[in-house]
Structure 1
């Protein structure tokens, strides 16, 4: 008698049924309630929704689409959250900063290219706190005035450069910021073309390249890189290691070469007073100088890397704005003439008498913040906000662009209007918030923001005192109106445009030449 087949078939069906039950139980188990965002695909999630360019605009658009100031995406199991309102940023990145201040440790950025040693990209913890304390100590509001003379000296040199070769204005403003920071940090009196300036500019660009469009943020490429990093650089798919090795040389040189050069001068008794001299003098008897050298190299490197590109980008944005909207210079010129009488250049002490210059600076920072998304934060523990779950390890963007283009606070936000910060009497309004978002948030806010604000204010005031910024002309004598385009990078700068620098009055050139000669 044949063996009955029914029990075997029944057992098979039972196993198949159990498999389906288990599959759907896992697949459709109750997920935490994440913030609103586009629906993802199986496995890859929102891989195809993550913006590759101008992410700040995309995240702002998603916020309006879903009617939420907090947006969520998930890519291969990793979470991204964008905060599009000042309230959300304050609630999370400031009030809960103890768990929202970490950095994502991208293999490419933090390890292979060496940026992990830099304070800006360092993991949150005791080492980072030590570095941060030093930066706050030497760049706090009470300390920054000692750097004003260096700022003024290099701004006066900028005016002369703009007078002599105005078509190279981008190079001139880049040199201004680099030279000033090298002077403040190391007491190096550099000139255009100095190899130290070129080294640091190249090194800083590597971070911008790596961070561009989130490609190496570690959100979805990091796990792949963790495996590929063990392969030899010649192996197919490991080409990024060859690029990383080249960039690491630049990054290491940026941190080590100026610091080593300064220490050598200090040992010979030739070093001038500066930020680094103060650091070394405070700990000259410390036996653990090897560790402190690494700390000081990181801190001084952060001081340069954090300020050079962002400050230059801010000044370039100012020039773009007044070229696109030339009529906005009229009131500033009138204010400067009234206060200075066309007899001298402005100084930082004139700030209270020149509210329109301050309004211009604030509007430049709001109109196009140089770091529209900034360096993302990372959560260290699970959290819940507005009924939504934010897992540990989530990459958090504070969307400065969306916040500073909020129509409820800044009507007609795409327009450049310095007057929005002024009352009818010409003074600064106290009901329009200062665009602090341009400098970051919480414990990760830029420690050099007071320094950056002062050098930008002085540069804008000095340029407008002696120059009228006008649009360039084509071969037919017609004005060339800039399109107002900017780059999609971590540090977003204006794309190339042309403008003219016209002396405003007969004695302007004398003021420029005399100031540059005196310094």
Structure 2
């Protein structure tokens, strides 16, 4: 029996009213006491409040607005917590690391593009713990000295490239970082244009494109992963397939080459060779192949881009504030006498170089908003409710720009880490926040610290970094602009690197002959 039009209209109005009432009831219902944050909208929550560009700065400002070092957002039911202080990060990510060390899993990364092999993004569990333990064994402080010769060789090659074509300093730094990691991990001796380094560079660009693109629809509606690539709107499937080819190649091709060389007894010592020879001959290599591929492929991904961004930040800061070189040059000349290049063993004698590195890491932490953690249980912190499954972003940039700890935080002042006599100041904390938190702290940080220190010390030993000039002799101010998403790296800028004394070229060439000999 068909209802009259008036009845149908009344029922429709009733239905709409009920839906609206449910939305209002949900919106205004008594909710748990979450940390402070902007009020969200029904259904979508804080979708329009979560920043995309320079989020670390926005979160710092929001923290000031709400008078809180911990913030809360909710987007389509996903709870997001931002920590702007070291105290909050230590409490939640260090002291409670057993329940806050998980990672958010996404379809695009974990299922479609091949990046599931990167153990940096794995779920917190036995597989992750195994990889972390193995990696730490080979890159803990006592193990890192075995890589010093590879680091020194890479830095020396960088000096030669800077001497020959200083205008290409960014490309030289990028090649140095990649070549060094390929040497340490696989014992590959690569030159510019080598297809092995080009492969891993292309694969790494896919990871940047994924994280910089924000949230993919397939991550919100996972069933879309089943769409055929030719289906309208399934362009993400075609793109993911292209990326997966590159990522699989990055993990598999160099691994297979070294595995074959080890089997034939021709492989030079390296991280992967050590892993492979540690396996008992009776064990299932299919299992270990996946574990070792995860370790070696992740090593490049975790170390290359961050090294490049940190060293280019150093060059930018030095070009912009050239006066910071004066004390460093004096210290280097006093300790080395312009007779040799610095070595890692000189670190204690060169505290000003260490202070410059600390200030580079503090001034522009290259991962300014740490890779997010995920809680596996509900957490009560300071009376606030943080639900299980919440995504927690630590904000190292805000911590390292806290004027209560680092006065005048936007200024580049290496001397903030030094006593008047030039020794390192114990009262000013080392910027360890730049390397992450809790059980997800970067396990390669000791290796990274050594190569960054060595590169800065060597560059300042033989070069003077200055602003560029145009064809009329006018000074060109370097651009103080940084990339706005996952990684904060300087945008391309110009500067001059010139030998700072008459014997600098000879010093470099003599050191090169010693290495070759």
Deviation for aligned residue 1:189: 1.0
- Per-residue deviation at 1:400? 0.6
Alpha-carbon deviation of 1:27?
4.2
Q: Specify the SS of the correspondent of 1:71.
A: strand
Shift of 1:193: 1.2
Distance 1:368 1:303, change over 3 A: same
Distance 1:232 1:407, change over 3 A: same
Residue 158 of structure 2 is matched in structure 1 by: 158
Q: Report Cα offsets for 1:28-57 as digits up to 9, x if no partner.
A: 321111111111112111111111111111
Native 8 Å contact 1:228 1:237 kept in 2? no
Is structure 2 residue 52 aligned with structure 1 residue 49?
Answer: no
Q: Structure 1: any 5+ residue segments left out of the alignment?
A: 1-12
CA distance in 2, matches of 1:114, 1:22: 42
Q: How far did 1:467 drift?
A: 0.2
Q: For 1:236-275, what per-residue CA distance to the aligned partner results, in whole angstroms no more than 9, with x for missing partners?
A: 2211111111111111111111110101111221101111
Change beyond 3 A, Cα 1:14–1:189 = closer
SS at match of 2:29: coil
* 2:414 matches 1:418: yes
Q: Give the one of 331, 348, 354 matched to 2:350.
A: 354
Q: Does 2:223 correspond to 1:222?
A: no
Which ranges of structure 2 fall in alignment gaps of 5 or more residues?
A: 1-12
- The answer (yes or no) to whether the contact 2:108–2:218 under 8 Å persists in 1 is no
Work out the CA distance in 1 between the residues paired with 2:259 and 2:117. 20
Work out the CA distance in 2 between the residues paired with 1:178 and 1:16.
60
> Is residue 446 of structure 2 the alignment partner of residue 450 of structure 1?
yes
Instruction: Answer whether contact 1:36 1:72 (CA < 8 A) is retained.
Output: yes
Aligned to 1:282: 278
Post-superposition Cα deviations, 1:213-238, rounded to whole Å, max 9, x if no partner, equal: 6435xxx86222x1211111122221
Q: Does 1:243 align with 2:239?
A: yes
Aligned match of 1:207: 207
Structure 2 counterpart of 1:115: 115
Q: What secondary structure sits across from 2:288 in the alignment? A: helix
Are residues 507 and 64 of structure 1, via their aligned partners in 2, closer, same or farther at CA, if it must alter by over 3 Å?
Answer: same
CA contact (8 A) 1:55 1:213 kept: no
Residue in structure 2 matched with residue 304 of structure 1 by the alignment = 300
Once the two structures are superposed, the pairs formed by residues 81-480 of structure 1 within 5 Å of their partners are 81-212=81-212, 214-216=214-216, 222-224=219-221, 226-480=222-476
- Distance in 1 between the 2:359 and 2:213 partners? 26
Q: Cα deviation per residue 1:164-191 (whole Å; 9 max; x = unaligned)?
A: 0111111111111111111111111111
The alpha carbon displacement at 1:198 in A equals 1.1
Shift of 1:470: 0.7
TM-score (norm 2): 0.94
Root mean square deviation of aligned Cα: 1.9
Question: Which of structure 1's runs of 4+ aligned residues deviate more than 4 A?
Answer: 13-27
Cα distance in 1, alignment partners of residues 249 and 48 from structure 2: 37
Q: Which residue of 2 is the match for residue 5 of structure 1?
A: none
1:54-96 Cα offsets, whole Å, 9 max, x none, are: 1111111111111110111111111111100000000001111
Deviation, structure 1 residue 474:
1.3
Output the CA distance in 2 between the equivalents of 1:18 and 1:59.
Answer: 37
Q: Is contact 1:101–1:124 with CA below 8 Å preserved after alignment? A: yes
- Flag the 1:332–1:252 CA change in 2: closer, same or farther, 3 A: same
CA distance, structure 1, for counterparts of residue 185 and residue 395 of structure 2: 30
- Contact in 2 for aligned 1:105/1:116 (Cα 8 Å): no
Does structure 2 retain, via aligned residues, the 8 Å contact 1:52–1:213? no
Aligned residues: 505
- Work out the CA distance in 1 between the residues paired with 2:246 and 2:86: 37
Q: CA deviation at 1:516?
A: 2.1
* Distance in structure 2 (CA, Å) of the matches to 1:463 and 1:19: 66
Cα deviation for residue 517 of structure 1 reads 2.8
- The alpha-carbon distance between structure 1 residues 29 and 144, as it changes in their structure 2 partners (threshold 3 A), is same
Structure 1 CA distance for aligned equivalents of residues 24 and 118 of structure 2: 46
> Contact (CA 8 Å) 2:218, 2:224: kept in 1 or not?
no
Q: 1:344 to 1:65 in 2, by over 3 A?
A: same
Cα pair 1:53 1:213 within 8 Å, conserved: no
- Structure 1 residues 407-429: Cα deviation after superposition (integer angstroms, max 9, x where no partner): 11111111111011001110000
Shift of 1:14: 12
